A = this chain, B = another copy of it.
C-alpha cells in the first residue's frame, strides 16, 4: 500500500502519546466539517435508491448533470484504467500517487511529468493525461483554458484527460466541472476534503454519458451506501454553509501561509486547505513535530512537509510554538 496522510492511528501506536493529545494536520481535510445530521434508519435498511435526489443536488452544486456518484473519487480512479485498452499515460508528479499506481496496475505505461513539463504541453502526446488541479501537495494549478486546449488535442485522437479536482472546491473558477460533458474529459470530485467528511467515502465522476455508463457497470449497482448518499445530498444543498466556509478557508489558508513564512525561509505553496514547504530538513522537522504530538505530512521524497489547517486557536498556537521551538524562530505575539 502507498502511504497517505491520516494514518494517525499508526503514530499513536508508535509514539504512545494519547490519541486525544494529537494535533493531526496530515490530511488536507477541512477541520470545520459540515455537521452531518443522523441519516434515517431506512438508509441502512433499504438498498440505496438511485433516484433519491442525490444526483439533482450534485448537478446543482457542480453545474452539470453529467455525473455519477462513486464511493470516493479513489474508487473511480482505481477502476478507470481498466476501461480502456493499454496505452501510454502521463501523470502529474509529484502528486497524489494513487493515480500512477492504478494505471500501472492495469498494465499501462506510466510517465511522470512535472507541472512545468506539463505547462510546456508535454502531456498532450499521450493516450491519457492525468492532472491534479489544484495539485496536491504543491498547490500548482492550470487554468481551465489551458486544460481545455489540452483536451482538444487528446480527445481528437480518442484519448482521455482525467482531472482530479479533489481540492478545487475553494477555488471553483478553476473547475472544469461546468464544461462537462466533453468527449474524453473525466473530472473527479471529492466530498471529503472541502466538506470535511472524509469518513463518508463519497465523490463524483463527471464525464461523457457512455464513459460514465461503463464506469457505473464496472463499479456495480449501489456503489455509494445509503447513509452517505443521504448526508452528501444535504451537504451539497447547503449553499449558505458553502459560501461562508469558502471565505473562512481562504482566510485560514492565508493565516497558515503567514505562520509558515515566520518559520521557514522557503516560501510555502498550496491551497486554502493545506500548504507545503520544501526543505532539506523535512524528515527531521516531521519527527520533531511528532514528538510534540503534531502530525504533518512528510512528502514521499522526504523533501518537504505539507501542513493542514489547525482546527482551533489552541491548535494554531501549538503549531506556531512548536515550529519556533524546533527551528529557533520567533512565534507570533498572541
By a beta-carbon cutoff of 8 Å, the part of chain A in contact with chain B is 1-2, 4, 6, 8-9, 13, 27, 29, 33, 35-36, 38-39, 41-52, 71-72, 74-75, 77-79, 82, 98, 101-102, 105-106, 192, 196-202, 216-228, 231
Contacts and interface: CB of A to CB of B under 8 A. Distances in A.
Given A51-B9, A98-B220, A71 B201 contact: yes
Most buried by B among A45, A98, A216, A219: A45
A104 to B, nearest CB: 11
Most buried by B among A39, A71, A74: A71
Contact of A218 (B8, B51, B78): B78
Contacts of A35: 41
Contacts of A78: 218-220
A50 B8 CA distance: 11
Given A98-B220, A218-B78, A218-B105, A201 B48 contact: yes
B197 A44 contact: yes
B226 A199 contact: yes
> How many copies altogether?
2
Ordered nearest first, which 6 A-B pairs have the shortest CB separation? A199-B226, A201-B225, A6-B47, A74-B220, A33-B45, A78-B220
A216 B45 contact: no
Nearest to A6: B47
B49 A223 contact: no
Contacts of A192: 47
Contacts of A42: 199
Contacts of A199: 42-48, 225-227
A105 B196 CA distance: 35
Given A1-B221, A48-B199, 19 more contacts: A29-B47, A33-B45, A36-B41, A44-B200, A46-B198, A46-B199, A47-B198, A72-B223, A74-B220, A75-B75, A75-B223, A77-B220, A78-B220, A79-B79, A101-B217, A199-B225, A201-B223, A201-B224, A202-B225
A219 to B, nearest CB: 6
Contacts of A79: 79
A201 B218 contact: no
Contacts of A29: 47
A49 B102 CA distance: 22
Contacts of A39: 227
A45 B224 contact: no
Contacts of A27: 47
A220 B188 CA distance: 15
A272 to B, nearest CB: 18
A106 B106 CA distance: 11
